[in-house]
Amino acid sequence: MKILITNDDGVTADGILCLARFLSKEHEVTVVAPETEQSAVGHAITIRFPLWLRKVDIKEPFEIYSVSGTPADCVKIGIDVVLNEKPDLVISGINRGNNLGTDVIYSGTVSGALEGAIAGIPSIAISSYDFKNPMYETAARFILKFLKEFDVNSIPRFSALNINVPSIPYEKLRGWKLTKQSKRMYEDYFEKRVDPSGSDYYWMKGNIVENDPDPKADYKVLKENFVSVTPISLFMTNEKYLSKLEEMYSENKIVW
């Protein structure tokens, strides 16, 4: 397959290079990624500033390009300028740290994959669970095998797969399970600090809350040494609530 790879950790991050090296053994790989870290930028795109695209001179069996923008920018310019055609697959990652629950809203990694989905290309986001000790080779070996057994063309347009891989040796993986985006979230708080000039500033921190009762919650299978594979979509309409509102505010009740 012809695969376009991006990330949000930066074009020379260990995770993206490990992924590209493994995939290039069996696929035609091109890396187009942000020149600097773009973690937690969500699905931002650059519309009021120019984008610089540069080929990175690193001895690898694939081409690498840096972009002065976001992961979504990278996918757009990767398709339209670098490749000048749609690849067979877009993969975003391997991210340093997990993308679970509400992380999906903020994640540049996930947004890179969803940008591919917008373009009508099968797309996958992949993350290594442990931020402090990511095991990129485990995730890379997994995705190489996964692509042999999973039909990526079954992924509908406007959808992508969000994959999280435990940070354990590959041999200890128990397989993969289909999961749901959990209600895992953070209790945010701000730590007040003082800069050298005496002015106050704040650093956002947070405690993880994992209390989702659903047995298919994404974070639960990771703790059992399974890979979490979650189908996600761009569209966020709450269908149940919409139906309820339609009952409450049917046409004969609306006064405008």
Residues comprising the binding site for a divalent metal cation? 8-9, 39, 95
CA atoms of 219 and 37, how far apart (whole Å): 25
In DSSP terms, 29 is beta-bridged to: 3
Give the sign of the dihedral formed by CA 85, CA 159, CA 156, CA 215. positive
How many CA atoms, within 13 angstroms, populate the side-chain half-sphere of residue 68? 8
Q: Which residues are annotated as a binding site?
A: 8-9, 39, 95
Q: Are 166 and 176 in contact (CB under 8 A)?
A: no
Q: Are 109 and 125 in contact (CB under 8 A)?
A: yes
What is the token pair recorded at 51? Answer: 């984008």
CA atoms of 112 and 124, how far apart (whole Å): 9
Distances (CA, A) of 63 to 20, 48, 83, 84: 10, 28, 11, 14
Q: Specify the long-range contacts of residues 50-58, CB closer than 8 Å, at least 24 apart.
A: 51/77, 53/77, 53/81, 53/82, 56/11, 56/12, 58/12
Query: 88 CB contacts (<8 Å, ≥6 apart)?
Result: 1, 2, 3, 121, 122, 152
CA atoms of 74 and 65, how far apart (whole Å): 9
